[in-house]
Amino acid sequence: MKTELLKVKEDTVITVTADTRFVLDFEEFTSEKRYSVDLRFEKEGVEAELIALYTLGNGEKLDLTTVSSHMVPHTSCVARVKGVLSEGSESIYVGKIIIDKNAQQTSSFLEDNVLVTGENVVNKSSPNLQIDANDVKASHGATTGRISENEIFYLMSRGLSHTEAQDIIIRGFFEEIISKIENEEVKKKIYERLSYSK
């Protein structure tokens, strides 16, 4: 599967024609920006993975909608959204799966995982599945949690500062996805965008 860094505009529509992993690259995180990415599956047998990774802090906001529109049979999509919210930040994620009546034997999944490291944060996750076919696999999942103080304490007892311990845990949170990306240029760009100590 090829990997493509996708500069996200406010309304991005992609017709998936080959097996592709799309890694979203956001311009900025402000309350005025609403990002929408629509992956359209109109070619039988293609698969895609959509990856959105972010860290927000100091009043930053992400408003993201992803749509996986399956119009033909034998297509597959996984949308993975992972973020870290620190002081005063906000994340709104709407994940939509649309499976047309002709798109039999399709699989489509949504994952939204958020790690909270600060106070006064808002996290809203809203899955929306519209399925008109009867031979499909589709599901969604969302988690929100805080870093365990026991994990922080353990790492600090090994000589790390609180910030260093938190950064290692956050890095591990993202590494589950980043480690699967083979394109080194895309990996480098992701690491540049993800700042852990906000």
Task: Give the model confidence (pLDDT) of 19-76 as tens digits.
Answer: 999 999 887 676 678 899 999 999 999 999 999 999 998 889 999 999 999 999 999 9
The answer to whether residue 174 is domain-embedded is no
- Output the pLDDT for position 192: 84
Is 102 contained in some domain? yes
Distance (Å, whole) CA 70 – CA 44:
9
Domain-embedded: residue 165: no
Q: How many domains does the chain have?
A: 1
Torsion of CA 140, 145, 53, 31, to 10 degrees: 100
Q: What does the pLDDT look like over 82-117, one tens digit per residue?
A: 999 999 999 999 999 999 999 999 999 999 999 999
- Mean pLDDT, the chain, rounded, equals 92
Find the mean pLDDT for residues 143-157.
94
Identify whether 108 is part of a domain: yes
**188 domain-assigned:** no
Query: Is 112 a member of any domain?
Result: yes
As a whole-number percent, the residues of the chain with pLDDT over 70 amount to: 95
Residue 186 belongs to a domain: no
Q: Which residues span the domain enclosing 62?
A: 2-148
Cα 27 to Cα 177: distance, rounded to the nearest angstrom: 21
- Residue 82 Ramachandran class (φ > 0 left, ψ -120 to 50 alpha, else beta): beta
pTM of the model: 0.90
Answer yes or no: is 58 within a domain. Answer: yes
